Amino acid sequence: MGILTLLQIRTEVDSIMGNKTAVLDPRVNTWINLAYTEIASGIDFEELSDEFDFPTVVGTFEYAGPANPLAVQLLRDETNERLLAWVPKNEYFRLNRATNGTVLRWTRRGSDLLVWPPPNAVVTLRAQFKITPPALVADGNVTILPPFVDNALIFLGAAYGLLATGEDARAVLWVNRAAAYLGSRITDQDFSFLLGGLARTQPTTGVPSGT
């Protein structure tokens, strides 16, 4: 888990932004939590991994999935030891669901998991998913991610704040710093970071994006 508390992270974000007296703590907390979710969404942290097992019902294709997941990554038939193939929702709804069979494919609709074809037997399915990290609310809260993420939260939280207060050029600089920093720290984790879209909205200044 992280080392810096929300209070410490907020103090650093305030400092980067120039300690704007008109910006109140709850607003800075919002920017920090936006950065927290962004980073959690873009990197495959083991700390966010969880599993959810459920039995099928013959002829039933829709099942309640894990509550409020950040992402559902895999669905596996544990009974038959096979990984199910994910398909986009629009492709799934073109499939014929009139006939039951061995489950082969899946998609997600909201928090529900849809399988195809509807099962012809009871099997155990296992969803591998990423939990949504709990928001940092109290001043003493720390993240559930590795300590190195604290620095990135400061950089990206400041970027959100600078964007919100009209300092776009400085915001892009801090986005690039966050992306470059995280890119230098990630080794075996998947780095499908989403900051690149924001970093490319304006010319890069100073530090390369690292995306």
pLDDT in 10s for each residue of the chain, 211 residues: 899 999 999 999 999 999 998 999 999 999 999 999 999 988 888 899 999 999 999 999 999 998 888 889 899 999 999 999 999 999 999 999 999 999 999 999 988 999 999 999 999 999 999 999 999 999 999 999 999 999 999 999 999 999 999 999 999 999 999 988 988 887 655 555 544 444 443 333 333 333 3
pTM of the shown model = 0.76
pLDDT in tens, 169-186: 999 999 999 988 988 887
Residues 9, 35 contacting (CB under 8 angstroms): no
Residue 27 burial (CB < 10 Å; 0-12/13-18/19+)? middle
Distance, in Å, from the CA atom of 92 to the CA atom of 46, rounded to the nearest integer, reads: 29
Residue 126: which of 113, 109, 117, 140 has the closest Cα? Answer: 113
